[in-house]
Amino acid sequence: MIDDQLNPTTDSYCWYESPVGKLLCAGNDEAITHIAFPAGQGTKVSVNEKWRESTKPFRALAAQLDQYFDRELTTFDLPLAPVGTAFQQQVWQALIDIPYGRTVSYGSIANAIDNPKAVRAVGNANGRNPIPIIIPCHRVIGRDGTLTGFGGGLPTKNFLLELENRQQLCLPF
């Protein structure tokens, strides 16, 4: 659940070794603000010189990512504070509602937020998701079932979908 009442100031970071590469995790003692892939075309996040490296604020995140990659966790329960426009926040919340192991189209997300003509804008918001995996933008695919762009690259998107044993395509929700 995205909590827009949390302080989104990022002051800490750590690195998480994952099956898709070394992830940069950033946030503060209250919430996660970023996860960045090592490759791909997503929102670029790099360590800010004002941030301090610390694993303490990210212990729950690391534990849940471990469980997710071990196929033991299907729903994350972490405080999130992604910074974005009201529209982006609406899209990101809709992404959280996509069930584990399912995929939906950009049009389905547009319909879910009661803005069926905003398919392109949904795609843009999806691409600017600062907390991928936790906010599962990898579960959004083309309406014909094809994999479309992903900040971590299409091989990473495919890996995440295979990890979740993609069962059904383009289900409305």
Q: How many domains does the chain fold into?
A: 1
104: domain CATH number is 1.10.10.10
Q: If DSSP codes are grouped into helix, strand and coil, which group holds residue 59?
A: helix
Q: Has residue 2 been placed in a domain?
A: no
Q: Has residue 146 been placed in a domain?
A: yes
Q: Has residue 106 been placed in a domain?
A: yes
pTM of the model: 0.89
Other residues' Cβ atoms within 10 Å of the Cβ of residue 144: 9
Q: If DSSP codes are grouped into helix, strand and coil, which group holds residue 16?
A: strand
Which domain covers residue 94, as residue numbers? Answer: 86-163
Q: Has residue 105 been placed in a domain?
A: yes
Q: Has residue 148 been placed in a domain?
A: yes
Instruction: Indicate which residues carry an active-site annotation.
Output: 137
Query: Would you give per-residue pLDDT tens digits along the chain (173 residues)?
Result: 565 555 568 899 999 999 999 999 999 999 999 999 876 555 567 788 899 999 999 999 999 999 999 999 999 999 999 999 999 999 999 999 999 999 999 999 999 999 999 999 999 999 999 999 999 999 999 988 889 888 888 999 999 999 998 544 555 54
Q: Has residue 79 been placed in a domain?
A: no
Q: Has residue 57 been placed in a domain?
A: no
